[in-house]
Amino acid sequence: MTATRSSLGAEHLLGRAFERRLRSNPDQLQLPNRIEIVREMESLQGRPDLVVTPSVLSAAINRDRIAIGKTIGRPSSAKILSLLSLVVPRTTRYLEGKTRLTQRTLSTRLRELDAVGLVRLSTSTKVLATRRFAMACIPLWAFEYKLSLTQRALFQALQYRAFAEKTFIIVPENEIDRPRNLGIIRQHSVGCISIDKKGRFTILSVANSRSPLSRYQYLYALGQFLCKRSSAHAGSFGRH
């Protein structure tokens, strides 16, 4: 551990090394060239060190991403959207009962969602999600930087399953020699990647894709992701 700290400093240096590698070689994790990242993103399950998407936002969504993100990022709006379908309309009464929102708050939120084109009122009391909403629903991957493979690291990675399609733990290379907890990490299909001093990484455990456990938490996290454009974009990414 001491050697790791002297070579990589601390977790944030480990993170920087990993991010540089992702930028220069996104193929290794099958990520697109124009990679989008958000650091320390707020979620309902804590703050993962890094969140990325393996998808590319369509131009139509990308243009309005901040407005869409701010709208989805409200817990009440995320709750409403989590109950909607593209084909089966939901009544406002059903939404009121399920979300426990007041009629007034529900109408306000539906108006806001309608304004950014994520929902459509099929009649005055029936609501559908739109194709535009489906296009905005990009998968998220969550990464946690750790100096050792502790059970706490696995716990955090499992927490992020609530909203992420894949979760990863990133550790320094010396953890390869001490594969503590690696068995249980593999058992849970959580990804584990070790980084050497040159930023090259080795995949110790493969992350399996799974639907996020909670649609509500996924939508809330998606809202945060879309809002955080500043540090996320490929143009400035990695130049520190």
Partner 1 sequence: MSVYVQHGYGKSDYIESTIANGNARGVILSARDESPQAMRALCDKLVEEGGRGFTVLLDPQFFAFVIPEGRIRNLSKYRYYPGLLSRSTFTDPADLRRFSTAALVYQSRLPLSRYVSPAIALEGFNDAWSQVYLTMARESIRWKEARSDDARPLVLSLVLNEAALMDAQAVDEFLDLITPWQVAGFYIVVACRQSGYPATLEATALGNLLYLIYGLSILNGFEIYCGYTDLVGILHTAAGAKAIASGWYGSLRQFAITSFMPSLGGGRARPRLTSRSLLNPILINPELTSVRGTNLYSEVLGDSEYIAEMLRKNPANVEWPASRAFLHHFEVLSTLVTEIESLEDTDDRLDRAEAMIDDALSTYAALRSKGVIFESRPANLQVWRNGLHYFRQRMK
User: Residue numbers of the site for partner 1 (CB under 8 A)?
Assistant: 44-45, 98, 100, 151, 154-155, 158-159, 161-162, 184, 187-188, 213-217
In angstroms, give the least distance from the CB of 39 to partner 1.
Answer: 19
Nearer to partner 1, 31 or 207 (CB): 207
In angstroms, give the least distance from the CB of 57 to partner 1.
Answer: 25
Nearer to partner 1, 151 or 209 (CB): 151
Nearer to partner 1, 148 or 174 (CB): 148
In angstroms, give the least distance from the CB of 100 to partner 1.
Answer: 6
Nearer to partner 1, 28 or 151 (CB): 151
In angstroms, give the least distance from the CB of 158 to partner 1.
Answer: 4
Nearer to partner 1, 63 or 100 (CB): 100
Taking a C-beta distance cutoff of 8 angstroms, is the pair 234, 36 a contact? yes
In angstroms, give the least distance from the CB of 58 to partner 1.
Answer: 27
DSSP class per residue in the chain: -HHHHHHH-SHHHHHHHHHHHHHH-GGGGT--SS-EEEES--BBTB--SEEEESS---HHHHHTHHHHHHHHTSHHHHHHHHT--SSS-EEHHHHHHHH---HHHHHHHHHHHHHTTSEEESSSSEEEE-HHHHHH----EEEEE-SS--HHHHHHHHHHTTT-SEEEEEEEGGGGT--TTHHHHHHTT-EEEEE-TTS-EEEEEPPPP---S-HHHHHHHHHHHHH--TTT-TTTTT--
